[in-house]
Amino acid sequence: MEKTLHGWVNNVKRVGKIIFFEVIDNLSLKPVTVVIKKGNEDLWNKALSVKIGCAIEIKGFVPKKIISKRGREIHATNIVILSSPLEPLPIDVTGKTGAMLDTYIDYRYIALRLPKFRAIFKIRAGIVRAAREFLENEGFIEIHTPKIAGAGAEGGATVFTLKYFEKTAFLSQSPQLYKQMMIASLPRVYEITPYFRAEKFNTPRHLNESWGIDVEMGFIDSEEDVMILLEKLIRHIFSYVIKNYRNELEILGRDKIKIPSLPFPRLTYDEVLSILEEKGLKIKWGEDLDSEAERTLGDIMAKRGHEVYFITKYPWSAKPFYIMCEKDISRAFDLDYIGLELASGGQREHRYDVLKENMIKKGLDPQDFSFYTEAFKFGMPPHGGFGLGLDRLTMVVVGAANIREVVLFPRDRTRLIP
């Protein structure tokens, strides 16, 4: 049976009277071995002119007996070079010679011809699909809130400003305020969204443009309801990826990853402080955990057999104004994976007066946020939610050490192009 194959030539090899191409098939994105045997002069000469990197059309037939180890093979009867590279490729698509991460990012569109990079971005897409599938099944409605905002989500935090006609606007750091406002009518919402943060980060886990899976739910009893949802979501994502991306996980050497078991441990902030103190790391009560503290705790928890765990009951001083608190303890939690923060969430303050008081305590002027506080006047139920970092979750699933490996075109302190 004759077959037509479209794709890119990733490797060319000549062994005596046979030429082999490795072609990535444009439909399956899997490599196919193309075999050209000497005999037909025209075809042979065409095959000799094929370069690594060509976009190509091959017509041929699948032989009865397949020589290629991959098991996908076609014997060519016709070759059409659709587009030949003007220069040698900037990345070795045979996979023999590696390159710097920066080169892979600069030439992402070529790097993706290598199976390991395709695997990362296919899994990333799978994570998003799994999250949608789970949240839709749980009755959440997908929303889209503005990314150009007239007020910063957390007031003091660093925001990018932009000129908006006669006014100054901000790029949204998170959909926090808008998703909460929705709870006045839609008690289960989610948004898969970029976060823009203007800190001068220089770490392997921060970008200035990152993506999050942001969830908010109403009529909760406490932040525990939110944590239960989040741990179910994480488990669903892991099981979805393990089920549907076995081949990709294998390419990345991640075929051993396991679905974290329930319940994820819950450590209070106070417990974390005493665990760290035993290791000689002293954190002043009330301060946020820095990355050294996070990593030390991550190692200890991993040794105890827990890669994923919650940190609960943070001091209110370390958390934003919209988090509910009792005296100085907040109803906020973080979800960490071996010392890497994947998500932050909690129960929000839904009582109009208390919310305004809390804003003042955090040094904010409630007047600046009246578009938000107004929504709390008309039957706002108790609610809570979380922001789960999509890039960070992808890192832990694919086993990447640097967030830039899992983002097509990362935006960091120095990188704005491509």
Site for ligand ATP in 245-304 (CB under 6 A): none
How many whole angstroms separate alpha carbon 58 and alpha carbon 192?
Answer: 40
Task: Tell me if residue 341 is catalytic.
Answer: yes
Other CB atoms closer than 10 Å to residue 225's CB: what's the count? 16
DSSP H helical segments within 222-351, as ranges? 223-244, 246-251, 269-278, 291-303
Shortest gap between Cβ of 171 and ligand ATP (angstroms)?
12
Residue 340 CB, nearest approach to ligand ATP (Å): 8
Q: Is 406 in the site for ligand ATP (CB under 6 A)?
A: no
Among residues 10, 344, 347, 358, which is the contact residue for Mg ion, using CB under 5 A?
344
For 166, counting Cβ atoms within 10 Å of its Cβ (0-12 exposed, 13-18 middle, 19+ buried), the class is exposed
Stretch that binds Mg ion, among 262-270, 280-288, 336-344, 364-372 (CB under 5 A): 336-344
Based on the residue annotation, tell me whether 205 is a catalytic residue of this protein.
yes
Q: Map the footprint of ligand ATP across residues 350-369, applying CB under 6 A.
A: none
332 near 323, Cβ under 8 Å? yes
Among 391, 395, 397, 405, binds ligand ATP (CB under 6 A): 391
The option from Mg ion, ligand ATP, none interacting with 272 (CB < 5 to 8 A, set by class) reads: none
Buried b (16+ CB within 10 A) or exposed e, 379-413: ebebbbbbbbbbbbbbbbbbebeebbbbbeebbbe
Report the alpha-carbon distance of residue 383 to residue 217 in Å, rounded: 6
**By CB under 5 A, what part of segment 250-309 binds Mg ion?**
none
326 half-sphere exposure, CB direction, 13 A CA radius: 4
Among 113, 124, 206, 404, the active-site one is 206
Indicate which residue of 124, 205, 236, 383 is catalytic.
205
Look at residue 207 and give the partner it binds from ligand ATP, Mg ion, none, a contact being a CB closer than 5 to 8 Å depending on partner kind: ligand ATP
Question: Of the listed 344, 348, 349, 404, which one is catalytic?
Answer: 344
Q: Of 178, 195, 322, 372, which lies in the binding site for ligand ATP, with binding defined by CB under 6 A?
A: 195
C-alpha closest to that of 20 among 62, 54, 48: 48
Q: Residues 211 to 250: which contact ligand ATP by CB under 6 A?
A: 212
Question: What CA dihedral angle connects 319, 324, 327 and 331, to 10 degrees?
Answer: -70
Q: Is residue 197 flagged as an active site residue? A: yes
Q: Does 389 bind ligand ATP (CB under 6 A)?
A: yes
Considering the rule CB under 5 A, would residue 358 count as an interface residue with Mg ion?
A: no
Nearest 5°: the CA angle 281, 283, 289 is: 100
Confirm or reject binding of residue 342 to ligand ATP (CB under 6 A).
yes
**Residue 298 interface partner, choices Mg ion, ligand ATP, none, CB cut-off 5-8 Å depending on type:** none
Q: Output the CA torsion 390→392→393→398 (10° steps).
A: 120
Specify the residue, 111 or 153, whose C-beta has the smaller distance to Mg ion. 153
In the annotation, is 392 catalytic? yes
Taking CB under 6 A as the criterion, the residue among 10, 296, 330, 344 binding ligand ATP is 344
Q: Which stretch binds ligand ATP (CB under 6 A): 3-11, 23-31, 104-112, 336-344?
A: 336-344
Give yes or no for a contact between 291 and 203, defined as CB atoms under 8 angstroms apart.
yes
Task: Say how many C-beta atoms besides its own lie within 10 A of residue 281's C-beta.
Answer: 15
Residue nearest to Mg ion (CB): 344
Rounded Cα gap, residues 183 and 239, in angstroms: 30
Alpha helices in 152-268 (DSSP H): 176-182, 223-244, 246-251
Cβ at position 384, least distance to Mg ion in Å = 14
Distance separating alpha carbons of residues 166 and 374, to the nearest angstrom:
25
Nearer to ligand ATP, 90 or 155 (CB): 155
How far is residue 74 from each of residues 47, 213, 227, measured CA to CA in Å? 14, 43, 52
Among 2, 133, 136, 199, the active-site one is 199
Please tell me whether residue 33 binds Mg ion under the rule CB under 5 A. no
- Report, in Å, the least distance between residue 212 CB and ligand ATP: 5
> 406 touches which of ligand ATP, Mg ion, none (CB within 5 to 8 A by kind)?
none
Query: Amino acid identity of 312?
Result: T
Active site residue 404: no
- In the complex with ligand ATP, which residue's Cβ is closer, 201 or 352? 201
Tell me the catalytic residues: 197, 199, 205-206, 341, 344, 392
Site residues (vs ligand ATP, CB under 6 A): 174, 195, 197, 201, 206-207, 210, 212, 341-344, 387, 389, 391-392, 403
